Amino acid sequence: MCGIIGINGNFNHYKLLFEGLKRLEYRGYDSSGIAYKDKEIKIIKVPSSIDTLKKECQEFDSKVSLGHTRWATHGKVNKENTHPFISNHKLFCLAHNGTIDNYLQIKEELLKENYFFNGETDSEVIVNYLEYLYLKKQDVLKSIYLLDKKLKGSYSLLIISKVDDNLYFLKNQTSLLISKEKNGYLISSDLYAFNKNVIDYYELKDHEYGFVSQKEARVYLNQIKEKVKYKKIKVDYENFSSINCFLEKEIFECPRVIADLIAHYIKKDKILLPNKLIDKIIKAKTIFVIGCGTSYHAGLIFKRLLPNKNIKVVLASEFIYEKLTFDKDDVFILISQSGETLDVIKSYELIKDHFTIGLTNNKESRIARKVDINLDIMVKKEISVASTKAYFGEVVILELIARKINNKKVDDLKSLPKYLESTLERKEEALELAKEISKYSSLYFLGKGIDYSLALECSLKLKEVTYIHSEAVYLGELKHGPLSLVGKNFPSIIVSSQKELKEVIETSKSEITSRGGKIFEITSPFDYSLNYLLIVLFGDLLSLYVGRILKVNIDKPRNLAKSVTVE
């Protein structure tokens, strides 16, 4: 959530800031702002998009600058709550990713010291407390160290000071990376912001702080200077300006990226997964699958693929508060598209002494580096907030694990890209259904068995892309309460991948139609073992087309952001 970028050195700061912010916009787009140092610290910010911000900002020259794109956590979306923030005496300017748990307590302390606040954010409290410390200590680094000791929560901070031309930073729990450049340094919450194919970078560890100047990067931990070792990485970039709709692009990429994924993990009909991973799962007393949103829904499929194993699929946001006890042989699968989902990272901290497996789309992410074995879902960058191709990558990896354990053949799995392609050819059918669905404000997705898991994912996509209220319900539970809502203005979409359940489904249809309810159905026309995946892809198409009909911002749904790095 939120994106930050900072620059120190001999660059075109205006150009680099806006290029970086545009690449970070998927992390938050409620509001945006930049700051740079001329003779004084200058701030331009708007409670709107980066495109609007750019129109408000003239080109400038500077040695040091920073930018922020926001997903609101504290306070309304208005200019007063938009980053960056400047302290009361204008000594420090700050942008912040994360959330501070004890900010109200700190705010009370500052109010007693005659500090005032224009907005409601925790971030404005941080910048003023930093200034308060500096006025006592007259040392920026010492003040940042003491700030870190004071704060409770998650925070990546970029700071410009009136005192000098350094770009200061402090990091805890949320990601922050330094990129070493020929003309200076860049810092960001995301490698993607650096807009380069090859990057020399250093990822800051929790509670590290310091500064970058044009000539050097200094990193400290507990007031001791750290040795900065840069890693080189290749990043695949695309030209954003040529893409009108990322959701559509990513849906139609599914056959290709899944073909590449299957080719990577299957060689000569053998599944190439670490033997240790398979042995641990076979011997596990309980296998916990932990994820959020779409990744959680992918995990629900795994439970169906290994019905003889004791598998518990848990929402990460609930897992961290469950106070569960575990057996020493329990295995934990952590699923996160970004590899930076804070709820999943917090879950890891509870089970890090056990065997852990990560499924991520970023092998450099924190989850990928923390777990014992990480499996790359290899679907390339997702920009649209609504995740599509990542779901298929996650489920295919889970299919591979299950098949390796069951010694099951992979011929049908190797055919999956072809069937995904055929499903995308049903776009006219999806569009016709979208025209009907767009007439309603609420509906059910109904499914039985594995189809309920598909209903959950289809329902999530529709509500986040189109703002239509949709709810997934077990088909058999319809008559135990949910049926009370069914009527001419409240239709049902039945999700059906299991032909053997045809008679049960027909009975449920009768229950709905006899009460004046409208029924739609999503099935697959193919006789194919992995029809459940084809149905989800068709559901993705449906959401895309309903969103188009309703003329909403498909890639940037209101109130949502892509990488959820706050609790």
196 and 339 co-located in one domain: no
Q: Is residue 453 part of a domain?
A: yes
Residue in 325, 377, 339, 334 with CA at minimum distance from that of residue 356: 334
- Pairwise CA distance, residues 405 & 522, whole Å: 31
Q: Does one domain contain both 7 and 51?
A: yes
- Identify the pLDDT of residue 370: 93
pLDDT tens, 27-55?
Answer: 666 788 999 998 899 999 988 788 888 88
Q: Which of 184, 204, 234 is the last residue of a domain?
A: 234
245-301 pLDDT, tens digit per residue, is 999 999 999 999 999 999 999 999 999 999 999 999 999 999 999 999 999 999 999
DSSP 8-class letter at 286: -
Find the CATH number of the domain harbouring 140: 3.60.20.10
57 with 187, same domain: the answer is yes
Shared-domain flag, residues 410 and 427: no
CA distance 72 to 89: 25
* Dist CA 320 CA 313 (whole Å): 13
CA distance 487 to 490: 5
CB crowding 116-143: b at 16 or more within 10 Å, else e = eeebebbbbbbbbbbbbbbeeeeebbeb
Least confident of 68-82, 97-111, 507-521: 68-82
The answer to the question of residue 240 being in a domain is no
Spatial distance between the Cα atoms of 106 and 456, rounded to a whole number of angstroms? 41
CA distance linking residue 420 with residue 362, whole number of Å: 24
pLDDT at 355 over 60: yes
Task: Give the distance from CA 402 to its chain's centroid.
Answer: 26
pTM of the model: 0.82
Residues 266 and 162 in one domain: no
Q: What is the pLDDT of residue 74?
A: 58
Residue type, 135: L
Q: Residues with catalytic annotation?
A: 2, 562
Q: So what's the pLDDT on residue 560? A: 75
The domain that holds 544 is classified in CATH as 3.40.50.10490
pLDDT of 26 higher than 80: no
Neighbour order of strands in the sheet with 331-336: 311-315, 287-291, 331-336, 355-360, 373-376
Res. 191: pLDDT tops 90: no
Q: What is the pLDDT of residues 236-245, one digit of tens each?
A: 666 666 678 9
Q: Are 545 and 432 in contact (CB under 8 A)?
A: no
Residue whose token pair is 């007259």: 138
Q: Is the pLDDT of residue 565 over 80?
A: no
- The string of DSSP letters for 481-522 reads TGGGG-BTTB-EEEE---GGGHHHHHHHHHHHHTTT--EEEE
- Flag whether 494 is in a domain: yes
Beta-sheet pairing, 92-97 with 85-86: antiparallel
Same domain? 381 vs 456: no
**Looking at the domain assignment, is residue 107 inside a domain?**
yes
Distance of CA 134 to the CA centre of its chain: 35
Q: Do both 156 and 35 map to the same domain?
A: yes
- In this structure, of 26-30, 388-392, 400-404, the range with the lowest mean pLDDT score is 26-30
What's the order of all strands across the beta sheet hosting 224-225? 85-86, 92-97, 155-161, 167-172, 209-212, 217-221, 224-225
Q: Based on the domain organization, do 63 and 136 belong to the same domain?
A: yes
The pLDDT of residue 503 is 85
- Per the structure, the complete domain to which residue 513 belongs is given by 423-567
Of 414, 436, 455, which residue is a domain's last?
414
Examine the pLDDT at 547 and tell me if it is beyond 80.
yes
Distance CA 172, CA 156 (A): 6
**How high is the mean pLDDT of the chain?**
92
Angle between helices 531-550 and 416-424 (to 10 degrees): 30
177 within a domain of the structure (yes/no)? yes
Residue 336 lies in a domain: yes
User: Contact at 8 Å (CB) between 219 and 208?
Assistant: yes
Question: Do 409 and 427 belong to one domain?
Answer: no
Residue 547 located in a structural domain = yes
Strand partners, 442: 469
Q: Which one of 211, 234, 257 terminates a domain?
A: 234
Based on the domain organization, do 552 and 436 belong to the same domain?
yes
Please tell me which residue, 371 or 365, carries the higher pLDDT value. 371
Length of the chain: 567
Residue type, 158: L
pLDDT mean over 184-194: 86
Q: For residue 346, give the H/E element and its range.
A: helix 342-351
User: Where does the pLDDT of residue 431 fall: very low under 50, low under 70, confident under 90, or very high at 90 and above?
Assistant: very high
Find the mean pLDDT for residues 450-478. 96
Rg (CA), the chain: 25
**pLDDT the model gives residue 156:** 93
Closest CA relative to residue 185, chosen from 171, 169, 197: 169
61 and 195 together in one domain: yes
Strands (E), 59-208: 64-70, 85-86, 92-97, 155-161, 167-172, 177-181, 184-188, 198-203
Give the residue, 440 or 363, on which the prediction is more confident: 440
* pLDDT digit string, tens, across residues 202-223: 999 999 999 999 999 999 999 9
Q: How far is CA 288 from CA 300, 304, 319, 334, in A?
A: 11, 14, 10, 8
What's the structural domain count of the chain? 3
Rounded Cα gap, residues 442 and 377, in angstroms: 34
Q: Which residue has the higher pLDDT, 459 or 28?
A: 459
pLDDT band for 189, please (50, 70, 90 cuts).
confident
Task: Tell me the pLDDT band of 98, cut-offs 50, 70 and 90.
Answer: confident
The whole-number pLDDT of residue 39 equals 83
